[in-house]
Amino acid sequence: MSFDLVLFGGTGDLTWRKLMPALFQAFRHGKLPPGGRILAVARDERSDAEYRAFIREKFNGVEEAKQPSDDEFARFAELLHYRRMDLSQPAHYAGLKQWTEERNADTVVLFLATSPNLFSTICEQLGAAGLNGPHVRVVLEKPLGHDLVSAQEINRIVGATFREEQALRIDHYLGKPAVQNLMALRFGNALFEPLWRRESIANIQITIAESIGVGTRGDFYDTTGALRDMIQNHALQLLTMIAMEPPSTSEADAIRDEKLKVLRSLKPFTAETVTRDVVRGQYKAGTVDGKRVPGYLEEAKVPAGSACETFVALRTEVQSWRWAGVPFYLRTGKRLAARDAQIVVNFREVPHPIFAGTRQANKLVIKLQPEDGLELHLLAAKGGGPAQDGNEVLSPVSLDLDFDKAFPSERVGAYERLLLDAIAGRLNLFVRSDEQEQAWRWVEPILDAWSRDTIGPRAYVAGSWGPAAASALVARDGCVWAEEQ
Ligand code: BG6
């Protein structure tokens, strides 16, 4: 299958930090369909050779195992082309169309790795140039809107040029191998399904913790915050994967219909429940990985006195027969104690304990980061005989699946997976417009309540697990966060 992949924003951060390394890995793994061309477009004048040299240099910043040798890069570079485009010029789109027609590839993927305020110009111009035929797909990178209205506006603009199945919205968390594993665990095995419900599950915790701060992105981050940056998309997408009903097929829309149902079943927030069930925080100076780090307000490009949240913890429920009354806790933050993303499914305790002493409910931990894996925590007899009081001694043990070890050569990164899916036209892991809008609808009361609240975020020390109020939030239900267990 031949393809043309056009990267709008071809000299930007996303392209060289994420997309090029992912494309190179796909190339190295032999997964990129042969007969492809990758065209970077951007504002300034460069030759193909200059662009290739620019990308080569950027690869020096990539982790060592993922850097190409000179020979590998030379072969990869043959796929890379560059074209100057002024995105407001119809003639430049006509030129682009001509470029694609020279080859007439089976698939043309247009990746909009630009600021979203260019989406409308680009889509209109692509439509006017007729670069929206059935073999064309457009990939949209976040942020996809700032709130419901702006997300709807983006969808309206994109929808005027492309049909829904041509528009691929990226949430890179859906490309992480652990998410595929979650699907496999739930729908490829019969073991867990009977337990996957309120009768057996006490609560579910989704944590996406980062140890990094906002770095040099202070100005962008300050207009975004953790709720928009991580909860509205990544954390909610993980929640839908955990809570969805089994889809009837593995077709993209069968899956996305079920995910949408979950988003629609989330308990809506009111001003009152925002105060009670949502904690927002902002880091102050502290120590992370043994190094002193500044507070959010001291970071470059962050406005003085900003009330932007760098941490959110919240409690919600999925209002359905399967999940009624089961708390779902979502938590994310920058400058936390560790880089750690995981979903913890806490099962209920045994109804009638016959062993004295250790009591611990089973839990299943789906680990996304730093490594992906699965842990099932069980209580087992230690085998050392009973204690002096005659009671059997039970101890927690875990069944531990390390996927990096189990399938060493087959792990592909999130962007690599999603780019290959975009080229192949597999839509399962892309977010449909109605899902995206529903997610905005759900977070909006939180944004509203915060915009009226004068107290602002709670401070937490960099290197901690966030404000104490986040622990209090789960303690109210008699729970603790995974790291406190
Ligand atoms: C991005 C956010 O979507 O995800 C960043 O904008 C965040 O703020 C990043 O750091 C985290 O992704 P990952 O894959 O490193 O967990």
Q: Give yes or no: 234 in active site.
A: yes
DSSP assignments along 50-75, one per residue: HHHHHHHHHGGGS-GGGPPPHHHHHH
Residue 332, strand partner residues: 208, 312
CA 57 – ligand 1 centroid, Å: 23
CA 174 – ligand 1 centroid, Å: 12
For ligand 1, atom 15: residue with the closest CA: 210
For ligand 1, atom 13: residue with the closest CA: 173
CA 247 – ligand 1 centroid, Å: 28
pLDDT of residue 100: 96
Burial class (CB in 10 A: 0-12, 13-18, 19+), 369: middle
Instruction: Tell me, using a 6 A CB cutoff, whether residue 229 lines ligand 1.
Output: yes
- Residue 265 CB: number of other CB atoms within 10 A? 15
For the chain, the distance separating the N- and C-terminal CA atoms, rounded to the nearest angstrom, is 51
pLDDT of residue 406: 82
What 255-263 contacts at long range (C-beta under 8 Å, 24+ apart), as own/partner pairs, is: 255/428, 256/428, 256/431, 256/432, 256/435, 259/435, 260/432, 260/434, 260/435, 260/438, 262/318, 263/236, 263/435, 263/438, 263/439, 263/442
pLDDT of residue 288: 96
In three-state secondary structure terms, 244 is: coil
Nearest to 177 by CA among 417, 353, 7: 417
**Which residue carries 């969805």 as its tokens?**
244
By most ligand atoms within 8 Å of CB, the mutation choice from 229, 371, 415, 431 for ligand 1 is 229
By most ligand atoms within 8 Å of CB, the mutation choice from 170, 210, 224, 310 for ligand 1 is 210
CA 359 – ligand 1 centroid, Å: 37
Q: How far apart are CA 347 and CA 194, in angstroms?
A: 12
Instruction: Tell me, using a 6 A CB cutoff, whether residue 299 lines ligand 1.
Output: no
pLDDT tens, N- to C-terminus, the chain (485 residues): 899 999 999 999 999 999 999 999 999 999 999 889 999 999 999 999 999 999 999 999 998 888 999 999 999 999 999 999 999 999 999 999 999 999 999 999 999 999 888 998 999 999 999 999 999 999 999 889 999 999 999 999 999 999 999 999 999 999 999 999 999 999 999 999 999 999 999 999 999 999 999 988 899 999 999 999 999 999 999 999 999 999 999 999 999 999 999 999 999 999 999 999 999 999 999 999 999 999 999 999 999 999 999 999 999 999 999 999 999 999 999 999 999 999 999 999 998 888 876 677 899 999 999 988 999 999 888 777 777 777 777 888 899 988 878 887 777 899 999 999 999 999 999 999 999 999 999 999 999 999 999 899 999 999 999 999 999 999 999 999 999 88
Nearest to 176 by CA among 421, 3, 345, 401: 421
pLDDT of residue 233: 97
By most ligand atoms within 8 Å of CB, the mutation choice from 18, 170, 172 for ligand 1 is 172
CA 96 – ligand 1 centroid, Å: 32
Cis omega before residue 33 (within 30°)?
Answer: no
pLDDT of residue 436: 97
> Which pTM does this prediction carry?
0.95
CA 459 – ligand 1 centroid, Å: 22
Q: How far apart are CA 252 and CA 435, in angstroms?
A: 13
Looking from the CA of residue 339, the nearest atom of ligand 1 is 16
For ligand 1, atom 4: residue with the closest CA: 230
Apex 189 CA angle, 186 and 194, nearest 5: 70
Instruction: Tell me, using a 6 A CB cutoff, whether residue 171 lines ligand 1.
Output: no
Looking from the CA of residue 233, the nearest atom of ligand 1 is 3
CA 208 – ligand 1 centroid, Å: 9
Q: How far apart are CA 267 and CA 247, in angstroms?
A: 22
pLDDT of residue 134: 96
Looking from the CA of residue 173, the nearest atom of ligand 1 is 14
For ligand 1, atom 9: residue with the closest CA: 230
Find the catalytic residue in 81, 172, 234, 377. Answer: 234
pLDDT of residue 353: 84
Instruction: Tell me, using a 6 A CB cutoff, whether residue 210 lines ligand 1.
Output: yes
CA 263 – ligand 1 centroid, Å: 22
Looking from the CA of residue 369, the nearest atom of ligand 1 is 16
Q: How far apart are CA 373 and CA 417, in angstroms?
A: 18
